[in-house]
Amino acid sequence: MSRVLIVEDEVAIAELVAINLRHAGHDVVLASSAEQAQAEVDAVLPDLVVLDWMLPGQSGLALARRWRADARTKALPVIMLTARGEEVDRIAGLDAGADDYLVKPFSTQELLARIRAVLRRKAPEALEQTVQIAGLRVEPDTRRVLADQQELKLGPTEFKLLHFLMTHPERVHSRKQLLDRVWGDHVFIEERTVDVHVKRLRDALAPAGCSGLIETVRGVGYRLARQPAAMPA
């Protein structure tokens, strides 16, 4: 189930889209202005945003541009809605960072198809993907972590954290990014919660000598190295 934020000040359109998305199994949040939308995104990063161009106050276009300039929201999938159909507007929308663009009036089936396509493109790391690095193997379908043939015991959060880090190796993730991607809804979770779970994860990996794979990047966050550090962190 994906969390979709709909930013649209026309209630009839917002409700129609929301009903169809919920029917398709999505978790839907509504915002009627750029400010409300920003507050929703600050609280919980959605999987996708359906963003109307014409909003009271700040435009959807300006909001999309702002998201693209911010590290946390840079990759946030956005489908832009607009009454404008001119080529120049279409280009402006895509230039602002929209992943796709739909001109009103549109069919809800068309919007659902576009949403599916954008989500597929943006989530190549299938949640069920088995991943293996430096002798460590994570199997989401069986929920097993294997170091050579030895099975390691991980709690559910540590399992998700390890799987996320292993599907995004060598990249530094801030605590906030990890909360967004691993916990999903972090409204009431403090950033140091991440540190607690990273410690548990390292402890769980220690019997296999793999705890050094999870590196602390001082002042930034954490990274999973393809090769373990010489000394466990």
17 or 198, CB closer to Ca ion? 17
Dist CA 100 CA 103 (whole Å): 10
Dist CA 52 CA 17 (whole Å): 12
9 or 89, CB closer to Ca ion? 9
Phi, psi (rounded to 5 degrees) for 95 = -65, -35
11 or 229, CB closer to Ca ion? 11
Beta bridge partners of residue 30, listed in sequence order: 6
| 188 phi-psi bin (left φ>0, alpha ψ -120 to 50, beta other) | alpha
Q: How far is the CB of 9 from Ca ion (least distance, A)?
A: 5
102 or 204, CB closer to Ca ion? 102
Q: Which of residues 1-60 bind Ca ion (CB under 5 A)?
A: 9, 52, 54
Neighbouring C-alpha atoms within 13 Å toward the C-beta of 54: 9
Q: How far is the CB of 104 from Ca ion (least distance, A)?
A: 9
93 or 228, CB closer to Ca ion? 93
Q: How far is the CB of 226 from Ca ion (least distance, A)?
A: 47
Q: Site size for Ca ion, by CB under 5 A?
A: 3
C-alpha distance from residue 152 to each of 44, 141, 147, 148 (Å):
31, 15, 7, 10
C-alpha distance from residue 165 to each of 3, 73, 161, 211 (Å):
21, 19, 6, 13
Q: How far is the CB of 10 from Ca ion (least distance, A)?
A: 5
Contact between 125 and Ca ion by CB under 5 A: the answer reads no
16 or 54, CB closer to Ca ion? 54
9 or 35, CB closer to Ca ion? 9
Q: How far is the CB of 109 from Ca ion (least distance, A)?
A: 21
Do the beta carbons of residue 202 and residue 214 sit within 8 Å? yes
Q: How far is the CB of 20 from Ca ion (least distance, A)?
A: 18
Dist CA 182 CA 176 (whole Å): 10
Residue of 75, 9, 72, 12 lying closest to 43 (CA atoms): 72
For residue 139, give both structure tokens.
């199997």
Q: How far is the CB of 111 from Ca ion (least distance, A)?
A: 15
Q: Give the binding site for Ca ion (CB under 5 A).
A: 9, 52, 54
